[in-house]
Amino acid sequence: MAGLVLMVAGCNAGTMTVGQYDGTTGETSKTVYSQHYDNGDWLLKDRLGLVILVDHEKKVIPVARSTAQMLGALGPGDSLASGKLSFVLWNFDSVPHQVKFKRMAVPSGSLDFQNEVATAAPHKETETQAGSFPIFNYGKSIHVTLEVEVEGKPRRIALDLQRRTKAQLKQYVSDGAARPYPWGGRSVKE
């Protein structure tokens, strides 16, 4: 029987390294996760896309944390971090679109956006900061359900925001790369 052990080797200021040891082969591998979670979906098919971004923020005092870790004195607060939330509207259309943000359910509760309206300019990406919420410090995904209104019609979008590895980030931002959203490598520019 193969022995596989997962180890969280470190989580520092938003990044996380996960090591895997395979007892059968004796091989150890590691995956370095970034501080960025994201996913996207269409609000208006082929015309208006939405990306939900969360930046993992954890205040760490290196010497104090490593000392507490060595002494086995990490507390419950170590498992919590803050997720800084942003929305990016990808407008592939030649006309502007308004999106009314209502609320979003996250594992730690819900956020009320009080019908905040964002306007996506034609052929532009428009980013809006939307607040923050508590997240699990060692998580690899965050499930969210967002309620918006687009062109007067309510929409509900459920997404799993994936915590991107450092390798994935390099891949998605390289020239000509297809992003992990329904529109792939399409540009908003005409």
pTM: 0.81
The helix or strand, by DSSP H or E, that contains position 73, with its residue range, turns out to be none
Q: Would you kindly state where each structural domain of the chain is located, as residue ranges?
A: 36-173
* Per-state percent for the chain, helix, strand, coil, to nearest 5: 10, 60, 30
**May I ask the CATH class of domain 36-173?**
mainly beta
What is the rounded distance in angstroms from the CA atom of residue 48 to the CA atom of residue 151?
A: 11
pLDDT digits (tens, 9 = 90+) for 72-89: 444 555 678 999 999 999
pLDDT digits (tens, 9 = 90+) for 28-37: 889 889 999 9
pLDDT digits (tens, 9 = 90+) for 110-158: 999 999 999 999 999 999 999 999 999 889 999 999 999 999 999 999 9
What is the rounded distance in angstroms from the CA atom of residue 20 to the CA atom of residue 34?
A: 17
What is the rounded distance in angstroms from the CA atom of residue 37 to the CA atom of residue 167?
A: 14
